[in-house]
Amino acid sequence: MKMGNDLTRGPVARTLLRFTAPYLIGNLLNTLYGIVDMFIVGRFASSVALSSVSIGALIMMMINFLLMGLATGGTVLVGNLVGARKDKEVKEAVSTMFCLLPLAAIIIMAILMVLRVPLLNLINTPEESFAGAKSYISICLVGMIFSGFYNAISSVFRGMGESKTPMIFVGISCVLNIFGDIICVATLKMGASGAALATTVSQACSVIIALIYIKKKSSFPFDFRPSSFRIYKDKAKRILSLGLPAAGQEVLVNASFVVLESIVNTLGYVSTAAAGVADRIFTIAVIPAGAFFGAVSAMVAQNEGAGQPQRSHRCLGVGVMVSGALGVLLWLVVWLFPSAVLSIFTPDKEVIAAGVDYMTFFKFDFLFFAFAFPICGYINGMGHTRYTLLVNLVSSLAVRIPLVYYISTIPGATLWHVGLSLPLASLVQLLMAAGYMLLHKDERAYRRLKDNH
């Protein structure tokens, strides 16, 4: 099996950074889906439409992160098997992934189609934004099957040490999405529905192109024959044991943001629009840390499969150092130029003023997750996804949601107050991740000694 890259050889820093760079660019391009929607809707539609896209995108982000969490199980398993040079089992894992993820996407689509209205009511969607948000979610749900296939394809490539190909597929989708937004939103004036349609069609086209490409690659560990689509029980069990906790943590984190959104929605559509813009800035700031989370996880998985724990430890060190430095830089930009950054997405001065209030404390989140994510990626790569689930259970259920609820009871609460809960939750996440490393310090020392001999 020649496709993919061997992450168990070569200088650790150079190998990790080369693997992370396409990962980072791919994440950036993927984030552009939402950013382009917000930018074009903000410029060519009303603040109500902007609020609708903000609410709908938050819910769809939670669903997509659920699929990404499940895909994490596939990345770790494929990485372990590739590192151990077990080609036959790699093919079985890939076959299982290509069945499980699309099936999960179909189930999620069916459930959300039934629950989308109650969910919008639950999060206190403003009356002006309700119809647009419902339309946005409905159209995006139709394309869930393509999200399932995309996440399956990406997880396999990354487990094999190949991050450039998923980046290309995302790039194609992003370009198509931009043209779709220009046509549907700026030209046809379809508002939130147009933004959703552009995103869904572009993702569908990207997945079709990806499937055509990999079907022609004889070195890809799957031949796409109907008889090859099979779920192997042992592989499915391992993928789910790794992926469900990862999916659980993604859902928890994003569910806590949905609760946060429900509080913000009670403050009116201006606050909803401002929080939506601030959330887009957050999605940009989290890209480097998210890239190192995924890259460290995949590289550690391969090296653990190859029996090289010392490389795993060096990989973690490089990831924390580079991700942390980028986090500090992004924090400085938002701290020094908050209004200028917010004005990129909306010219509405009232929305910008509300956004500046929200970012007062929110910007400190950029520091904490920059250091926490690579550590959590290492923990996932080790196969300990249940601990990262615990981390997010505590940070979400014991910190973020209770704080948001308490804030909602304060008379005259504003976005300034709401933004306080976010960095505190991430700080808890960082402390718990660091605590894991301290608790396993002796184990890592023993494994390094064993690796040297």
| Residue whose pair of structure tokens reads 């938002």 in the numeric block | 334
In Å, what is the CA distance from 414 to each residue of 13, 124, 125? 44, 16, 17
Nearest-10 Cα torsion for 5, 8, 13, 15:
-10
Give the pLDDT score at 446: 45
Mean pLDDT, consecutive 10-residue stretches, the chain (453 aa), reads 71 91 83 72 83 84 84 90 88 93 93 92 86 93 91 89 87 89 90 90 92 80 86 92 83 74 76 81 85 90 88 92 93 91 85 88 90 92 87 85 79 80 87 87 53 51
Give the pLDDT score at 347: 83
Give the pLDDT score at 218: 65
Give the pLDDT score at 1: 46
Task: Give the global pTM.
Answer: 0.77
Give the pLDDT score at 4: 62
Q: Residue 168 carries which side chain, given as an amino acid letter?
A: I
* pLDDT, tens only, 173-188: 888 988 999 999 889 9
Pairwise CA distance, residues 164 & 105, whole Å: 25
Give the pLDDT score at 223: 82
Nearest-10 Cα torsion for 274, 292, 388, 154:
90
Give the pLDDT score at 451: 52
* pLDDT, tens only, 343-377: 887 888 888 888 888 888 888 988 999 999 999 99
Give the pLDDT score at 127: 86
Give the pLDDT score at 449: 47
The answer to whether 384 and 249 are in contact (CB under 8 A) is no
Q: Residue 211 carries which side chain, given as an amino acid letter?
A: L
Give the pLDDT score at 448: 53
Pairwise CA distance, residues 137 & 220, whole Å: 34
Contacts of 159 by beta carbon, 8 Å cutoff, 6+ apart? 74, 75, 76, 77, 78, 79, 81, 82, 298, 301, 302
